[in-house]
Amino acid sequence: MSVAQRNQLVSDNIGLVHSCCRRFSGRGIEYDDLFQAGCLGLIRAAEGFDNDRGIMFSTYAFPAILGEIRRLFRDGGAVKVSRSLKELAMRCLKEQEKLSKKLGETPTVSQLAEAMGESIEAVSEALCAAQPVLSLTVGAEGDEGAEYDLPTDDTTSRLCENMALRQVIDSLDEIDRKMIELRYFDELTQTQTAKILNMSQVQVSRREKKVIAIIRERLKC
């Protein structure tokens, strides 16, 4: 895959990062930190993606994005931005402003990297680290209390949620996974499901409640 194609993948899928970040907002970590982590996951996914695998990039990138965001909660802190990365971010922003005036439009990541003599990966990571904090309660005029509406890609959000659910279901024990698939994907009754699994209807009912509780808990984080 060419550098231009990789950059395009990152650019086209920023919405997926926002969709994943919204799942974790309001849990003690600032949105900009979630976004920075998600961007790192997206960049790494773009670097390792192979078109020949026959899967959508969004499907491939989702676990990487989610993994970087979850790492924040495991580490118990915000994204650690090194001094060198902060300095590179400042240089990127200055060079971006200069190129914008020269080209009459915002330069691509590859154009910025070439002008600075830096790698695409380094510039991409620096730009992610330079993302400003986005207030959700300040209006266009800076009025406190006004709400700011984030642009939402409903299709991407649904994709994100569906992949998260699929990931959790796949992590279940074989019998529990089969039960959920029969009940909620094949839409069989508890009696029909019990017959297939060689269980009683009561056993299916009790087990189903426990598994649903597990799924809900795992989807929280």
Q: Higher pLDDT residue, 129 or 50?
A: 50
Q: Higher pLDDT residue, 113 or 74?
A: 113
CATH 1.10.10 occupies which residues in the chain?
Answer: 171-219
Q: Could you please state the CATH topology (level 3) that the domain comprising 171-219 is classified under.
A: Arc Repressor Mutant, subunit A (1.10.10)
Give the pLDDT mean for 9-19: 83
Q: What is the pLDDT of residue 162?
A: 64
DSSP 124-189: HHHHHHTPPP--SSB-TT--BT---PPP--HHHHHHHHHHHHHHHHHTS-HHHHHHHIIIIIS---
Nearest-angstrom CA–CA distance, 32 and 130: 9
- Over residues 37-66, the pLDDT tens digits come to 888 888 888 888 877 766 778 777 888 888
- C-beta of residue 88 within 8 angstroms of C-beta of residue 118: yes
Q: Is the pLDDT of residue 10 over 60?
A: yes
- Over residues 166-190, the pLDDT tens digits come to 767 877 888 998 999 898 888 889 9
> What's the pLDDT band for 151 if we cut at 50, 70, 90?
very low
Q: What is the pLDDT of residue 160?
A: 54
Q: Is the pLDDT of residue 130 over 70?
A: no
> What's the pLDDT band for 195 if we cut at 50, 70, 90?
very high
Give the pLDDT mean for 63-82: 71
Q: What is the pLDDT of residue 80?
A: 52
**Per mean pLDDT, which of 119-123, 156-160, 205-209 is the most reliable?**
205-209
